[in-house]
């Protein structure tokens, strides 16, 4: 069971991490940018709800004030003469904006400042207010509902003027302390009643205040915060759209170009490089452009290679087919032997071509997976020369290896570099006179090792010094039969050298004598 739960969790996590999995990977970048910025602003907007704590603080402070007002007024009335009570009540009520009512021990109303004089405040009739106040009250109710605020009972003056309608009076008498009760005015502003005993004869004073300023302060704070959040939201959305435009639009342009390149219908499609952008989008555009150019070059090379292979194989196959078709009709032993010799030569040539073609086609892939090591270039060359000498393929003049470098070490694949020099020596031997010596000189120029293979043949014309490295291009030595060379040797050598971050070029001999000089330049080994 536990293993099943862990497996399910792993699959869910993998589906989130995998591009193309669940949300948000299926949404556009524009939507995600907007969502991230709006979520942050939504958290800021959530601070609107914390205004409720501000309201509680204001109400709490007003309760403390109401308690103090009621107690001070009660003390003043306790020390007053009976004939001065009404006047003192009116003066306190008018000065503090309160309604004061005095009840005797039986709960009968003795004095009411609203009856003795002009009322110090009046409740606002919501029917006479504009729609803005209606909207404000609607928002107040919505905030109270969301926050789960307790329901405040409505304030109403009873027809019976006795104290039975006001529970706070009975509680104040029972506890012999000041009791505060909050109610709601018709316009939904707070009404605060404070009941406190007077002296020890059971009389009670009740003060009433319509604290409309609390509601107004809350609405002002909420409005200010709402304006800030709204302004920030608009700016954030605009900036998000701008950011999305600078990111998404070039990406869409790259996608359209990539789709056209993939369809292959228009070979002239150019992936925009966005040279003015120096950010990651610009780097991506230039990388895709370079990758597309490299792929096109590789495709063109493959197509050209396939065409060349077809052409090169067609010649020996045609000759082989002609010899085989003619052979049954020939009865002369000497002529039959000649036809068989032609067939054997064509088969050998096809075999060499296939071997060289297979080797050339897998060089790049194999070298991309090869870990280079330190290669002792002179040691490699001397071993190669000795091996060729044992097979008698160095020519009568032999091969001389000379080095002027103290530490001629290069990073690379020894077997592939050996193949490079083997091909260069084969080329030098085939063009050199029989008794001529082939020289291999190792030198260093800056951070590069140069290995030059020089022969004493006719040399390579200046116009052909690049063409000799093309596949299936071959300048045959005088007297050599057609088909002895595939024309891939130098092309394979250059491919291997370039995979080692080096170069292979053809020049004339440095001493001015007749002959070709093929120079391999490789990075020297660095310990850094």
Domains of the chain: 48-221 (3.30.450.20), 270-368 (1.10.287.130), 370-528 (3.30.565.10)
Average pLDDT, stretch 407-411?
86
Rounded to 5 degrees, φ, ψ at 214 are: -60, -50
Which of the four pLDDT bands, split at 50, 70 and 90, describes residue 343? confident
Q: What is the pLDDT of residues 142-185, one digit of tens each?
A: 877 877 788 899 999 988 888 889 999 999 999 999 999 999 99
Average pLDDT, stretch 324-335?
81
Rounded to 5 degrees, φ, ψ at 86 are: -60, -45
Average pLDDT, stretch 271-275?
77
pLDDT surpassing 90 at residue 329? no
CA pair distance 233, 240, nearest whole angstrom: 10
pLDDT at 473 (0 to 100): 63
Average pLDDT, stretch 279-288?
80
Range with the largest mean pLDDT of 94-98, 134-138, 308-312: 94-98
Q: What's the chain's length in residues? A: 528
Exposure pattern of 3-40 as b/e (b: 16+ CB <10 Å)? eeeeeeeeeeeeeeeeeeeeeeeeeeebeebbeebeee
Ranges assigned E (strand) in 134-238: 179-184, 190-198, 203-210
| Tokens standing for residue 407 | 């530490």
Contacts of residue 525, defined as CB under 8 A and 6 or more positions apart, other chains included, come to: 374, 407, 409, 410, 411
pLDDT surpassing 60 at residue 517? yes
| Tokens standing for residue 475 | 């300048």
Could you check whether the bond before residue 24 is cis, i.e. omega within 30 degrees of 0? yes
CB neighbours of residue 69 within 10 Å: 20
CA-CA-CA-CA torsion sign (158, 160, 163, 164)? negative
pLDDT at 227 (0 to 100): 80
pLDDT at 527 (0 to 100): 62
Could you report how far apart the first and last alpha carbons of the chain are, in Å?
A: 54
pLDDT surpassing 60 at residue 475? no
pLDDT surpassing 70 at residue 457? yes
pLDDT surpassing 50 at residue 5? no
Determine contact, residues 523/501, Cβ cutoff 8 Å.
yes
pLDDT surpassing 50 at residue 516? yes
Which of the four pLDDT bands, split at 50, 70 and 90, describes residue 9? very low
Contacts of residue 312, defined as CB under 8 A and 6 or more positions apart, other chains included, come to: 353, 472, 486, 487
Contacts of residue 134, defined as CB under 8 A and 6 or more positions apart, other chains included, come to: 126
pLDDT at 526 (0 to 100): 74
Determine contact, residues 212/62, Cβ cutoff 8 Å.
no
Q: What is the pLDDT of residues 124-153, one digit of tens each?
A: 999 888 888 888 888 888 877 877 788 899
pLDDT at 445 (0 to 100): 87
Average pLDDT, stretch 278-299?
79
CA pair distance 419, 413, nearest whole angstrom: 10
| Tokens standing for residue 321 | 């087919």
pLDDT at 119 (0 to 100): 92
- Measure the CA dihedral 73/75/78/81, to 10°: -70
CA-CA-CA-CA torsion sign (39, 41, 44, 48)? negative
pLDDT at 436 (0 to 100): 87
Question: Within 13 A of 203's CA, how many CA atoms are on the CB side?
Answer: 18
Lowest-pLDDT range, 69-83, 135-149, 394-408, 471-485?
Answer: 471-485
Average pLDDT, stretch 39-44?
66
Which of the four pLDDT bands, split at 50, 70 and 90, describes residue 51? confident
Average pLDDT, stretch 495-499?
86
Q: Report the candidate in 528, 518, 500, 489 with the shortest Cα–Cα distance to residue 414.
A: 500
Determine contact, residues 74/54, Cβ cutoff 8 Å.
no
pLDDT surpassing 50 at residue 87? yes
3 state SS of 256 = helix
DSSP 419: H
pLDDT surpassing 90 at residue 7? no
pLDDT surpassing 50 at residue 416? yes
Exposure pattern of 398-423 as b/e (b: 16+ CB <10 Å)? ebebebeeeebbbbbbbebbbbbbbb
Mean pLDDT, the chain, as a whole number? Answer: 80
Lowest-pLDDT range, 141-155, 340-354, 440-454, 478-492?
Answer: 478-492
Average pLDDT, stretch 324-336?
81
DSSP 412: E
Determine contact, residues 147/49, Cβ cutoff 8 Å.
yes
CA pair distance 110, 348, nearest whole angstrom: 134
* Higher local confidence (pLDDT), 397 or 52: 397
CA 404 to chain centre: 52
Which of the four pLDDT bands, split at 50, 70 and 90, describes residue 67? very high
pTM for this prediction? 0.47
pLDDT at 452 (0 to 100): 92
pLDDT surpassing 90 at residue 61? yes
Instruction: Please give the C-alpha separations between residue 274 and each of 138, 219, 241, 267, 296, in angstroms, as whole numbers.
Output: 54, 51, 20, 20, 20
Q: What is the pLDDT of residues 202-246, one digit of tens each?
A: 899 999 999 999 888 888 887 877 787 778 778 877 877 777 777
pLDDT surpassing 50 at residue 483? no
pLDDT at 195 (0 to 100): 94
Rounded to 5 degrees, φ, ψ at 453 are: -105, 115
DSSP 427: H
Which of the four pLDDT bands, split at 50, 70 and 90, describes residue 21? very low
Contacts of residue 346, defined as CB under 8 A and 6 or more positions apart, other chains included, come to: 316, 317, 319, 320, 323, 483
Long-range contacts of 253-258 (CB under 8 A, 24+ apart): 254/284, 254/285, 254/288, 257/288, 258/288, 258/292
pLDDT surpassing 60 at residue 279? yes
């Amino acid at each position: 069971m536990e293993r099943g739960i862990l497996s399910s969790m792993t699959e869910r996590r993998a589906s989130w991490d995998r591009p193309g999995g669940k949300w948000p990977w299926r949404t556009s970048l524009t939507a995600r940018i907007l969502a991230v910025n709006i979520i942050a602003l939504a958290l800021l907007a959530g601070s609107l709800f914390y205004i409720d704590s501000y309201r509680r603080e204001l109400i709490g402070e007003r309760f403390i004030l109401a308690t103090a007002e009621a107690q001070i007024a009660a003390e003043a009335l306790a020390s007053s003469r009976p004939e001065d009570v009404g006047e003192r009540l009116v003066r306190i009520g008018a000065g503090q904006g309160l309604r004061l009512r005095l009840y005797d021990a039986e709960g009968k109303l003795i004095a009411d400042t609203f009856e003795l004089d002009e009322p110090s405040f009046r409740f606002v009739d919501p029917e006479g207010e504009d729609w803005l106040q209606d909207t404000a009250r609607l928002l107040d109710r919505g905030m109270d509902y969301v926050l789960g605020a307790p329901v405040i009972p409505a304030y109403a003056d009873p027809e019976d003027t006795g104290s039975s309608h006001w529970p706070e009076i009975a509680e104040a008498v029972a506890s012999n302390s000041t009791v505060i009760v909050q109610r709601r005015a018709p316009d939904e502003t707070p009404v605060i009643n404070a009941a406190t005993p007077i002296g020890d004869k059971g009389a009670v004073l009740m003060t009433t205040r319509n604290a409309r300023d609390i509601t107004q302060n809350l609405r002002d704070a909420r409005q200010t915060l709402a304006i800030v959040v709204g302004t920030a939201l608009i700016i954030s959305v605009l900036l998000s759209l701008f950011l999305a435009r600078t990111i998404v639009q070039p990406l869409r342009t790259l996608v359209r170009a990539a789709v056209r390149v993939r369809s292959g219908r228009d070979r002239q499609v150019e992936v925009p490089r966005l040279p003015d952008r120096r950010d990651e989008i610009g780097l991506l555009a230039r990388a895709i452009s370079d990758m597309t150019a490299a792929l096109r070059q590789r495709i063109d090379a493959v197509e050209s290679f396939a065409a060349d292979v077809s052409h090169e194989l067609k010649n020996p196959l045609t000759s082989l087919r002609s010899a085989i078709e003619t052979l049954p009709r020939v009865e002369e032993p000497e002529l039959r032997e000649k036809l068989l010799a032609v067939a054997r030569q064509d088969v050998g040539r096809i075999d060499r071509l296939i071997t060289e073609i297979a080797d050339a086609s897998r060089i790049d892939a194999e070298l991309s997976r090869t870990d280079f090591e330190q290669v002792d270039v002179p040691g490699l060359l001397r071993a190669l020369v000795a091996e060729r000498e044992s097979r008698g393929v160095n020519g009568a003049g032999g091969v001389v290896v000379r080095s002027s470098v103290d530490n001629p070490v290069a990073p690379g694949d020894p077997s592939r570099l050996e193949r490079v020099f083997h091909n260069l020596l084969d080329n030098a031997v085939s063009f050199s006179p029989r008794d001529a010596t082939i020289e291999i000189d190792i030198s260093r120029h800056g951070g590069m090792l140069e290995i030059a293979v020089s022969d004493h043949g006719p040399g390579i014309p200046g116009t052909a010094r690049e063409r000799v490295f093309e596949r299936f291009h071959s300048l045959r030595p005088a007297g050599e039969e057609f088909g002895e060379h595939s024309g891939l040797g130098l092309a394979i050598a250059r491919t291997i050298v370039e995979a080692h971050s080096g170069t292979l070029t053809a020049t004339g001999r440095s001493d001015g004598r007749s002959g070709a000089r093929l120079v391999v330049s490789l990075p020297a080994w660095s310990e850094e």
